[in-house]
Structure 1
Amino acid sequence: MGRDHDDDDDDRLAGLFERLRGGGGAAVPTSALGRLRRMAGTALRTARAARKGGGPGEGLGAADPEAIERMVMSLGQLKGIAMKMGQILSYIDAEMPPETQRLLGLLQVYSQPTPFEAIAATIREDVPAEADAILASLDPEPAASASIGQVHRARRPDGTQVAVKVRHPGIDEAIRADFRSASIGKVMGGLMAPGANIKETIVEAQERFLEECDYGLEATRQRRFGELLAGHARVDVPAVHDGWCGQRVLTTTWYDGVGFDRWLATEPSAAERAAVGRALYDFYVGTLYRHGIFNADPHPGNLVFAPYGRLAVLDYGCVRAFDAATVRALAALSEAVRDDDAPKIRDAMVGLGARDPGAAGERFDATRDLLRAFYGPVMERGSHVIAAGASTAIGQAYKTKRAIFRLRVPGKLLFLYRIRFGLYAVLARLGAEADWRAIESELTDGVLSARVP
């Protein structure tokens, strides 16, 4: 009996995974020229497709699998911003062919790892007092290798299983090198946020991505989310183990479970999918409205599903906080867009620091279209499953990009695009049914009904 197409796809995926795992050894390129040369091929051209029309991954559909494999290998070697662009493309474009999506999806959990000798050296430099204890039980084989660091499993002296995340040597310099290249910064900004002030967007992106290199800051943020989510009906935040942490090493409790794709393969019930969908919406959007802080990295590789019905959200490196006035303005904008109230949309946009879109005409129409795409699923009344195309609706906004770019949306709002469209993509793949408009309305009502100090 002949092999079917799915078998060939599985073999290709497995082969690419093994090449990524076995490709460690070379240092992360850190010079701007060297990284630009490496990106100038398939990686940079593919990302630029996001700015030229249809959708973020336009042009990928026609690419042959070997070209996609070469791109994944290149992005996995470069790590940093290049790999993050690949991660975004892997889950935000529902129209991308499944094979392409699966190959790019490897970047959600794996890049070419840093050699164990370099990992051990970093641990000894960063947490010298505990280095021997950490290394005594540290699995030399990484459990995951991502754009900023890689994770190794270990065991505390009391028997607690932990995940030790160690930063790739030189990754902070690599990110700075990427942002010294104006073209790469513009591509990243265009991929994540049409209509934004380009200069402010590049500054915002650089600040947030460099913060991801500071594991001491991430530990603080993870503890904060642990406090905010304590007692949550479904979401867990792994605990931080302070004594085994530094600026380049972060140790958290190991969370047993399976990743997003493997969990979906178990064919969870509609009720289970809906519960998970509501929990994820509450985690990514609810914390913004309730507490003025949100995790801005909603890709599926950060989700772990436990066998007893709970899930953990990993990685708190990319987090954004807003003051109460900004949160209130965002809630007012959401309400105005849902009500299609033109004067309130205009007031809210100006209140957030964007240029006045006017009351009518091309600029206002472009603004309205962009905002309706941004809020996508919450525009529809009643319970429904988020359509697969919801995450690519942003592509339609590019068709009016001249009017949109005149809006000059403040760069500080950059990562709101990422959580909205990233979350929509995850919810669409999840097939979760809920009254998303009612969920959003309850959250914004809570903000707008609160007394202003």
Structure 2
Amino acid sequence: MGSNSDDTLPPQGRFTRMRKLAGLSMQVGSEVLKNSAKRLAGGAPELLGKGAAEALVSTLGEMKGAAMKLGQAISMDPDLLTPEVRQVLARLQNQAPAMSPAQVSRVVREELGAPPEKAFREFSHEPLAAASLGQVHRAVLPDGRPVAVKVQYPGIADSMAHDLQNVGMLVKTVSKASKLMDGSAYFQEFRDELLLELDYRREASLAQGFKQSVAKLSDLYVPEVISSHSTGRVLTLELLPGLTLKDWVVTSPSPEARFRVARQLIRATYGPFFLAGEIHADPHPGNFMVMPDGRLGLLDFGSIKRFTPRFVDANQRMFLQAMRLETMDVLGLSREVGFTTELPDAEAEELIREILHIAGRPMRVTPYDYATCEITRDLRNHFARNAPRFLKVKPPAEAVMFFRATGGLAQNLRLIGASGDFRGVYLEVAELLEPGAPRSGA
């Protein structure tokens, strides 16, 4: 698709997209630099102002694809942004500019062999959500079941490829300049996973598999796939009632409700990982539905990541030892996970042990208050203080999506701001692996 016949579609062309990002970078970058200087001097609590945030939403929302996914990630960071700015950027999570009804009808007709009005008993052209790769419409099947229909943006595959070519060129340049900063393997992992999200048949299969992975966790729910109305660019799922996490959290939920949902998010992340070796690796707040019956609905399965048995097994043993408060062979287990190091063993172990100590606070301390959680900030500071040494400690490529999932979990828990016995929640996860294990964790 060389040019756009509809200005609601993502802009095409590698250099067109690069030019848009370059202009946005100049606009936003100057403000970040200015506010960074003010922060160092004790002022300017935010790195990004509301005006720059609106520019990000406008440009990245129009571009969609990988560029918009970057904006979604930025919108989740509570340490870099004020609540007002985060609220602006949160529109990127499921409120991007929508494509026209004519474009939606064209894609549905090409994929299902009939326009929406004939393929479904009812079809709302007003989107429920519009995100990075496609937008979602409420519809009713011929048999009366309400469904959510995800329709992929025309040309988004080319847009994604162009964005990733641009980023890949930067990664290659940096990697050639410094062996220590060679991020080629990590970029390749991230690139491959993003491109796989374009295949909705694959997503349908992943959704069905993930439903089995959470089957033991009755407080979580994965919608049914409607195979008869799903193809490579149209995905039809059971419509879940409720509010997305980002909409629910601003309704002033009770402390008990906050704890319940935070507990469910932890189980939704670590339960499938430890039980089935897979994880939901796109954890922005628009992908979770707080349902009226108290369950947490899970949405968007294009980025379900499946890990090697070695990676899962070593992480499982590390987790269980941490929950038992046992002394662990940090470096040995890290190497089993797939880490490599170019530091003396004692130095590498010290760096990794501190990461586990910071990240593991809710597993040791009870009660724990996520409203005042400083894990992300402290990890960021730990990396910054030890940057030259961290460049010599390399995780396996598959860890990229694991870190994306668990980092997103930490940010969502901070967003919810729940307080309570989270060590008990992690012990529940441990019991999934060791039924009948003592609840003391000793």
Match of 1:255 among 240, 255, 258: 240
Determine if the alignment matches structure 1 residue 74 to structure 2 residue 56. Answer: no
| Aligned counterpart in structure 2 of residue 119 of structure 1, from 104, 127, 132 | 104
1:157 aligns with 2:142: yes
Who is 2:200 aligned against? 215
Which of 81, 84, 87 is residue 99 of structure 1 equivalent to? 84
TM-score w.r.t. structure 1 length?
0.82
Asked if structure 2 preserves the Cα contact closer than 8 Å seen for 1:346 and 1:358, the reply is: no
The two structures, once aligned, show a CA RMSD in angstroms of: 3.3
> Hey, what does 2:20 align to over in structure 1?
38
| Partner AA of 2:14 in structure 1 | A
CA distance in 2, matches of 1:394, 1:212: 29
Q: Does 1:29 align with 2:11?
A: yes
Question: What is the match of residue 422 of structure 2?
Answer: 436
Q: Secondary structure at the match of 1:141?
A: strand
- C-alpha separation between the residues in 2 aligned to 1:301 and 1:175? 21
Q: Which runs of 5+ in 1 are unaligned?
A: 1-23
Q: Give the match for residue 404 of structure 2.
A: 418
Q: Shift in Å at residue 186 of structure 1?
A: 4.4
Does the alignment pair 1:390 with 2:375?
Answer: yes
Aligned partner of 2:3 in structure 1 is none
Name the CA distance, whole Å, in 1 between partners of 2:72 and 2:300: 14
Paired residue for 2:440?
A: none
Deviation at residue 366 of structure 1 after TM alignment: 3.0
In 1, Cα distance between equivalents of 2:26 and 2:431 = 42
Q: What pairs up with 1:357-376 in 2 under 5 angstroms?
A: 357-361=343-347, 363-373=348-358, 375-376=359-360
Question: Cα–Cα, structure 1 residues 338 and 257, in superposed 2: closer, same or farther, change >3 Å?
Answer: closer
Which 5+ residue runs of structure 2 have no aligned equivalent?
1-5, 437-442
Q: Deviations over 1:24-74 (max 9, x none)?
A: 834312322221211123358869999xxx9xx999924332222111101
Q: Deviation at 1:135?
A: 5.7
Question: Offset of 1:276 from its aligned partner?
Answer: 1.5
Note the C-alpha offset of 1:324: 2.5
Query: For residues 218-275 of structure 1, what are the alpha-carbon distances to aligned partners after superposition, in whole Å with 9 as ceiling and x for unaligned?
Result: 1111112223334643221111111000000000111121222432333322222212
Residues 1:402 and 2:384 are matched in the alignment: no
| Percent identity of paired positions between Structure 1 and Structure 2 | 26
What is the CA deviation profile of residues 372-393 of structure 1, one whole-angstrom value per residue up to 9, with x for unaligned ones?
44x3444532231223433333
Aligned to 1:272: 257
**Shift in Å, 1:448:** 8.1
Q: Deviations over 1:166-199 (max 9, x none)?
A: 1111112211111212468749x99xxxx99611
In 2, the alpha carbon distance for the partners of 1:417 and 1:35 equals 28
Higher RCO, 1 vs 2 (CA within 8 Å, ≥6 residues apart): 1
Task: Kindly provide the CA deviation profile for residues 117-137 of structure 1, in whole angstroms up to 9, marking residues without a partner as x.
Answer: 111111111121685533662
Distance 1:315 1:435 in 2: 29
Q: Secondary structure at the match of 1:30?
A: coil
Q: Among 136, 144, 148, which residue is 2:133 paired with?
A: 148
Give the Cα separation in 1 of the matches to 2:189 and 2:267. Answer: 25
Provide the secondary structure at the position in 1 that maps to 2:243: coil
CA distance 1:421–1:130, shift in 2 (3 Å)? same
Letter in 1 for 2:422: W
Asked if the contact 2:149/2:236 (under 8 Å) is kept, the reply is yes
1:89 corresponds in structure 2 to 74
CA contact (8 A) 1:355 1:409 kept: yes
Q: Summarize the Cα distance change of 1:337–1:48 in structure 2 as closer, same or farther, 3 Å threshold.
A: farther
State the TM-score, normalized to the length of structure 2.
Answer: 0.84
Count of paired positions: 415
After superposition, residues 122-137 of structure 1 pair within 5 angstroms as: 122-128=107-113, 133-134=118-119, 137=122
Q: What is residue 169 of structure 1 aligned with on the other side? A: 154
Amino acid at match of 2:280: N
The aligned counterpart of 1:15 is none
